[in-house]
Structure formats: structure tokens, C-alpha cells
Structure 1
Amino acid sequence: MLSVTCAIIIRDGLVLAVQRGKKMKMPGKWEFPGGKIEANESEENCLIREIKEELHLNIKIAEKLPEVIHHYPDFTIKLIPFLATIESGELYLSEHQAYQWLSKDKLLDLDWAEADEPVIREILKRNNAKWNFLDK
């Protein structure tokens, strides 16, 4: 099983979605940014490192969400999501081909990687007052 972290990055009440590049598995699918946990690396440190490498952003982790285990035809993933905000940096894509800032009600409009779909459902259940608090 592949253990992967992902960040639900919130800014101005919007959520960051990134589109997988043509050379990645599942090209064109949308996902929350993140990556594989390296040996002896904590989930939080992995996520901070991956977001810095992939998006050139420094993030602050706010809360861990429920993990998702998803079975694709050729591999199984354990997706470990975290709510986060941007501390500094300018968004620049290193691996992905596109990004969008979306309101919660627009998240389902994209063609998401299947493992990310339960994370979206979790986000949609959340109280907007708590959601907006993260962004202050």
C-alpha cells in the first residue's frame, strides 16, 4: 500500500485543486496536492516538503481529516488528508499542469482522482463557520 499525504489548502474561503500532468499516473485528473511519505518522515513533514517542492508554497497544517484507503486496479493508496493554509510563497506548478481555486460548491464540477472523492465528501460535510475560521 502506498501512503500519501494531501493538503486541502484554503485561501479566502476557496480550496486549491491541482490537475495531474501528462507524465503522471492518471493524467488530467484533479487532486489535492501532496505526495509519498519517505522513510522516517512524519505525515506532517512529508506534506510540508511536498507542497514546497510541487507548488513553492509554505503551508501551515490546521487539522488532519479521516484517512482514505482506495484500491485502484494496479495499486492501493492510503490517502492522508490535512486542512492547511498558506503561510508564504507564490504558487508555481512544478509537476501539475493546472490549478484552480474553487468554492466548496464547485468542487464536484471537476474530474477527480477516485481516492480524493471521499475527501471531498468530508469537506462538504464541514460547517462553513469552522471552514472560514481556518482562513483568518
Structure 2
Amino acid sequence: MVDVTCAIIVNPEGQVLVTQRSATMKLPLKWEFPGGKMEFGETPAICLIREIKEELNVTIKILSELPSNKHNYPDFSINLIPFICEITEGSIELREHSQYRWLHPNVLLDLDWAEADLPIVANYLTSLNVT
């Protein structure tokens, strides 16, 4: 099982950043919260800050952590560790994903999410009391 972090990045208007995987990535064109695999010796928080800088060219501040989700795909398994964050520096520059959107939380479930992200979305919405 691979430990993977993800960022639920919220802007001052309360919108959430979502990213679409590129056609060449595993789980092509699925939507997800950006992030990536932990490297040896990294904490989840350090991993997420590094991954977001690498993928989106922005600096984030972690505000809180949500419960993780273990998910088994047919050919790999992950432990997805989510954090609620905000951007503190930079402008988004896609380096791996095909597109990104800022969305109001009440439309998040309308996207075609990567399966491991679905419980993360649900937990986030529950934390906001959004149905």
C-alpha cells in the first residue's frame, strides 16, 4: 500500500481546487484533489507541500487534516491522506494535470472522481455540513 497525500485547497470565496488527471496518467481524465506519493522519510505534511509545489507551482499552508482513506484499485492500493489547505504564494501552473477548476463545494459530487477520492469528498462535505 502506497501512502499518498492530497490537498483540498480552498480559496477566500470558499471554492475548492480540483484537478483533472491527464490522459497519460493512471486513472486518465478522472478528477482528484492534487497531491502525490510520500517519499522515504517524509511526513505527510512535508510530502504534500513538496508535491503541490512540483505539480502546481504554488506554496500552500496546511490548515487541518481529514481522515485518510484506504482504497484498493485492481492493480495497486493507496492510503490517501487529505489536508485542507490554502495557497500562500504563487499562481497555479499545471505541470501534470490536464485542467483545474475552482468549484463551490455543493457541485463537487457532479465530477467523475478517482474512486479513492470519493470518501475524501464526502468527509470534506460533511465537515462543512453541505449535502
TM-score strictly above 0.5: yes
Q: 1:6-49: per-residue Cα shift (whole Å, max 9, x none)? A: 00000020000000011100110000000000011111010000
Counterparts of 1:105 and 1:63, CA distance in 2: 20
Amino acid at match of 2:124: I
Amino acid at match of 1:87: T
Amino acid at match of 2:40: A
Paired residue secondary structure (1:105): helix
1:78 counterpart residue number: 79
Aligned residue pair count: 128
Counterparts of 1:67 and 1:32, CA distance in 2: 13
1:6 counterpart residue number: 6
- Identity percentage of aligned residues: 55
Counterparts of 2:116 and 2:80, CA distance in 1: 7
Paired residue secondary structure (1:79): strand
Counterparts of 1:23 and 1:112, CA distance in 2: 16
Q: 1:79-132: per-residue Cα shift (whole Å, max 9, x none)? A: 00000001010001000000010101110111000000001101111236xxxx
1:108 counterpart residue number: 109
RMSD of the alignment, in Å? 0.8
Residue 47 (1) aligns with residue 48 (2): yes
Counterparts of 1:19 and 1:61, CA distance in 2: 22
Paired residue secondary structure (1:111): coil
Structure 2: which 5+ residue stretches go unaligned? none
Amino acid at match of 1:86: I
For 1:22-101, list aligned pairs within 5 A.
22-101=23-102
Structure 1: which 5+ residue stretches go unaligned? 129-136
